[in-house]
Every structure is written in C-alpha cells, then in structure tokens.
C-alpha cells in the first residue's frame, strides 16, 4: 500500500482562507490610518529598526488585520452601519471580531508586545470609519494604546 508523502511543513494547520496573504513580494510600508494617533507612536517605535523577520511579521500582521476588517465590512454591511450609528461595533459584531482577533493573535503572537496594534487601527479605520468612539468598548488589551 503506497502512502502519500506528507508536505514538508512542520505540522501547522493551513490558515483560514479568509486570512490568505499575498505571496508577491511587497516593500514594507507601515500604513498609518489615523495620522494623529500615529504621531503619538512614531517617536517610540520604528519597524525598520527590527530584524527582517520581525519586519515581515509586521507587514503580514498589518495586511491580515486590514483584510479581516474588510471582510467583516463586506459580509455585515448593515450591522457595521448600525454599529457606527449606535456606537457599539464591538458588541454588535462581537463574534466576527473575536474570530478575527483569535486568528490574528495566533499568527502574530511574537510581535503582540510591540507598541503597535494593526488590528485596532484597521478596526477603527475600516469598521468605525475613523471614529474610535463608534467601537464602544474595545475588549482587547494592547500595548499601543497604553503608552
């Protein structure tokens, strides 16, 4: 009986298709959705001073967070509209946000203590249309917001 050769990965489960990354090479550029908030962290943290591996993790984390929020906005447009209006996005979209955050945390745990939170930034920029108050209560601790 012939057995199929296993892929040469380290036993990791392939990512959820909604979190697929682009495979083409991109130049890393940290996108700052909220200029006022970005200025607060610019003096403290420079991604370009990190190792190439950490820079790549940041690039991917930024991309995954952005795509996750775009997916939620596309799949739940009415709930996003109501959440902005009622200022309760994090409660109204709790299940979707928690699922996206679990995946984000699992994939980018090595950089979670860095003072930048792409998940929060894109949540505000895309789902809350730039208004952090529209989130209601943000349920996740983040070093970027505690400085």
Per-residue pLDDT tens for 100-142?
A: 999 999 999 999 888 999 999 999 999 999 999 999 988 887 6
Q: Tell me, what's the pLDDT at 91?
A: 96
User: Is the predicted pLDDT of residue 85 greater than 60, yes or no?
Assistant: yes
70 and 118 Cβ atoms separated by less than 8 Å: no
57 and 106 Cβ atoms separated by less than 8 Å: no
Reference 41, options 58, 21, 26, 19; nearest CA is: 58
User: Is the predicted pLDDT of residue 48 greater than 80, yes or no?
Assistant: yes
Q: Quote the CA–CA distance of 48 and 40 in Å, as a whole number.
A: 17
Q: Tell me, what's the pLDDT at 43?
A: 53
Q: Spell out the SS3 assignment of 86-137.
A: HCCHHHHCHHHHHHHHHHHHHHHHHHCCCCCCHHHHHHHHHHCCCCHHHHCC
**Domain ranges within the chain, ordered by starting residue:** 51-140
Q: Tell me, what's the pLDDT at 147?
A: 37
User: Is the predicted pLDDT of residue 27 greater than 90, yes or no?
Assistant: no
């Amino acid at each position: 009986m012939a057995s199929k050769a296993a892929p040469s990965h380290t036993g990791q489960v392939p990512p959820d298709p909604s979190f697929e990354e682009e495979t083409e090479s991109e130049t890393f550029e940290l996108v700052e959705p909220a200029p006022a908030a970005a200025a607060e962290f610019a003096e403290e943290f420079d991604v370009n001073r990190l190792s190439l591996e950490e820079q790549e993790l940041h690039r991917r984390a930024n991309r995954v967070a952005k795509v996750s929020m775009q997916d939620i906005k596309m799949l739940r447009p009415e709930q996003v509209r109501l959440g902005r209006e009622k200022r309760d996005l994090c409660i109204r979209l709790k299940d979707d946000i928690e699922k996206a955050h679990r995946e984000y945390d699992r994939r980018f745990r090595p950089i979670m203590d860095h003072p930048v939170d792409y998940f929060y930034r894109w949540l505000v920029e895309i789902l809350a249309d730039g208004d952090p108050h529209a989130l209601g209560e943000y349920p996740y601790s983040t070093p970027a917001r505690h400085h």
